[in-house]
Every structure is written in C-alpha cells, then in structure tokens.
Structure 1
C-alpha cells in the first residue's frame, strides 16, 4: 500500500512519456488503451523507437526479469519504464515452462515448436493418469508480472501480477492469439484462449489483470 508521499511521487510522473520495455505491438496497444481509459496523461513509447535493445533476462523469476527489463529501459531512456514478464506454468511439470516459455523448445518465439514440446512433455503424465483411471484435466496458469520504475535505480518498483487459470489441451484449438493460447482451455467458457476475441481475452487475461492492478496502485 502506498503512503501519501509515495502516492504524491507517483502522481508526479504523470503527464510525460513512459517507455514500454517491449516492441510487441499487441502489448503496446493494450497498454495504450487501458491507460487512456484510466485518464492518465501518459504517452507509452515502445523501447524500439528509442533504439533500446532487449535486456539480458538472467533472473530466476518473473518478478526479477520484469524489474531487470524495466531498469534497463529506464537507464538508457532516462524515463520512467514499464516491463512485463509473462509465461505459462504447468504444476505437473514443476511449473515449466515458466520464465522460459518463449524459448521452451530452444528457438525464441517459435510458438509451434513450443506448443509441440509442451504436448510431448505432458504425454507420459496423461498416459500414467489413464493407466491409473485418473484421466483428470491437466491444470495450467498464465502468469504476468509488471514492473514499473520511476527511474533506473528506483528502490521501490511498483509490482503487479495477474494469474489466469485454465487447462492444457492435448491438441491445439483455435486460430487466434499467440504463444500457448491454442492449448489453454477455459472450461467455463468452453473455449481456448486462441478462440476468444481480443476484447474478451483482454478482459480476463493475466496481462489485462496485471495492467488494471498496476493502474489501481498508481492511482491510489
């Protein structure tokens, strides 16, 4: 919970440019829309427009990597910065692929290979469950951690986290979204994340949750 002094300092960073430590067009559009809806006078700039290269993500958690990326972008730009680190955690696999979600199969951003590896890694578990007559759904959750720093050495980054619970399918379903969306099944909606509209997904997704939580903290 912010103190009144911390809230004052946070409000002082409005009415200026912030750097988004990502060049992902989908993330940029989502940030811009939600910040506009919150009536914050902030312009979000992707780091690529400032010729900022990606940070080396050598943390061991989503929180560490989000902070590393935010500090990196802020240090080079000398502006406040926001970064997210997100991925899929499957408890049956010891929460893999986790922070390595984007490069689970070796090549960064190869969604088809990452999905294929996840399916293959879960096959022995599914087979064992069926042998034991316990063919229960394999759970998974998308995780998004956001870190916002007012400057590169900010000792008190603002941290927000979103968790999106679902089940992991045995084969892809739906042709939208990205990453592991085609394997992420939402039983209550009878749909995969890849079959949701962008607006419906943003309303319930891990990233949508985290952005709204971040905004609530900044406005407190």
Structure 2
C-alpha cells in the first residue's frame, strides 16, 4: 500500500472487495484507493452472522471489524428474495445449499426449487444493507434494492452469487451479463453504498490527514 489504511471493508471475498472499491472510491474525493482494504488484509476473523435481517448482519460485521482494527468499517449484507418462496432465501442466500459461499450449489438448488414455476411468477429482488461503524460507536445503515425476474438457467460471466439468474426489470440481460460498470450503476449494492457515501465522507473528513 502507498499509505496507511483509512477505511476497511468487511469482506474476505476478492470479487466483492473489487466491486465495493469500484463503487466507493470514485465517490470519495482525494481518497487513495490503496487505503481502502478488506478484512483479509488486516487479518480480521469473520464474526457469526446471527442477525435476522440484512441490516442486523451488516452491523454485526461492521462492529466486529471496527473493534478489531480501530478504523471506520463498512460492511454489507446482501441476498436474493424470491416472491413465490415467501422472500427466501433472504438472509440465508449465501448458504442456501448448506455450504456457505458455494455459488454454484446455491444456484442449482434454487433453480431446481423453481423448475416448475412459470415466468410470470418468477419475480425476485436483490436487497443490500450497507453499514458504517466507527471505533467510537457511530453507526449508519442504508438499503438498496434491485427488482427483477429469475432466469431458468445461469447466464453471463460477470458478477458472483445469484447474478447469473436475476434479470433486472426492464432488461433482457442477467446481472452477470451486464458490464461491471452498468451493474454497479443499477445494483442494490451500488444504491446502498452510494447512499452511505455522505456518512463515510463525514467520518473520514474528521480523521487527521497525513
């Protein structure tokens, strides 16, 4: 790094870290991209996410990371909610198949569960709760949503998680078929993190430069 870490993001996923930095850094004037690091970079353990909402789990991760590092910490909890499944997988999205973070297994199980569901009943949405927590205990949470329908098979090489099967409303491409810049522009995660930017700017603006 070219300078000390000033903001830490609560993810061990390299793909998500890159996506979050691409959303946040351009909106934070004068911030060195290398000063925005991930949880893996600072050796932070992953806390138990036992909240019952996206916001609760985002706060759990951000609080743990701020306490571990003494830095402002940003975390998100995101997932897919399917109307015909009563909002599931929801907060269990990353471990829907029983194996946390196994994207392919999660996709295969969900598509199998929906195999006989007609296109008009395949409505779903991505939700993201983005949280900022400072070492002093200041907390902010913002939400973002991306509404769409579910494809019958994965399509596209970009993104991660359920991106290959959600087709945003008004479009024909899945999130994984969109260029990363276009996905970030409309995504639930992009919405939530851009809404969080003013709080991040205020917090970093109070920190000594140097």
Structure 1-normalised TM-score? 0.81
Query: 2:153 corresponds to which residue?
Result: 171
Alpha-carbon separation, structure 1, partners of 2:64 and 2:8: 10
Alpha-carbon contact 2:11-2:40 (below 8 Å) kept: yes
SS of residue in 2 equivalent to 1:143: strand
Query: 2:180 corresponds to which residue?
Result: 198
Task: Indicate the structure with greater helix content.
Answer: 1
Query: 2:164 corresponds to which residue?
Result: 182
Query: 2:64 corresponds to which residue?
Result: 72
Alpha-carbon contact 1:31-1:44 (below 8 Å) kept: no
Query: 2:109 corresponds to which residue?
Result: 117
SS of residue in 1 equivalent to 2:145: strand
How many angstroms does 1:31 deviate by? Answer: 3.2
Matching of residue 37 in structure 1 with residue 26 in structure 2: yes
Distance 1:61 1:187, change over 3 A: closer
Structure 2-normalised TM-score? 0.85
Matching of residue 85 in structure 1 with residue 74 in structure 2: no
Alpha-carbon separation, structure 2, partners of 1:33 and 1:169: 27
Alpha-carbon separation, structure 1, partners of 2:196 and 2:92: 24
Q: Give the structure with higher Rg (CA).
A: 1
Deviations 1:87-136 (A, max 9, x none): 10112111111111111001111111111111122235x1xx6xxxxx62
How many angstroms does 1:216 deviate by? Answer: 3.3
Tell me the matched-pair count.
Answer: 196
Distance 1:90 1:150, change over 3 A: same
SS of residue in 1 equivalent to 2:81: strand
Alpha-carbon separation, structure 1, partners of 2:8 and 2:16: 12
Alpha-carbon separation, structure 2, partners of 1:35 and 1:112: 28
Alpha-carbon separation, structure 2, partners of 1:64 and 1:40: 31
Alpha-carbon separation, structure 2, partners of 1:92 and 1:102: 19
Alpha-carbon separation, structure 2, partners of 1:104 and 1:81: 27
Query: 2:139 corresponds to which residue?
Result: 157
What 5-or-longer segments of structure 1 have no aligned partner? 1-14, 130-134
How many angstroms does 1:176 deviate by? Answer: 2.4
Matching of residue 26 in structure 1 with residue 15 in structure 2: yes
Query: 2:94 corresponds to which residue?
Result: 102
What 5-or-longer segments of structure 2 have no aligned partner? 203-210
SS of residue in 1 equivalent to 2:126: strand
SS of residue in 2 equivalent to 1:188: coil
Deviations 1:25-67 (A, max 9, x none): 2332233334332205362121112111111101111011000
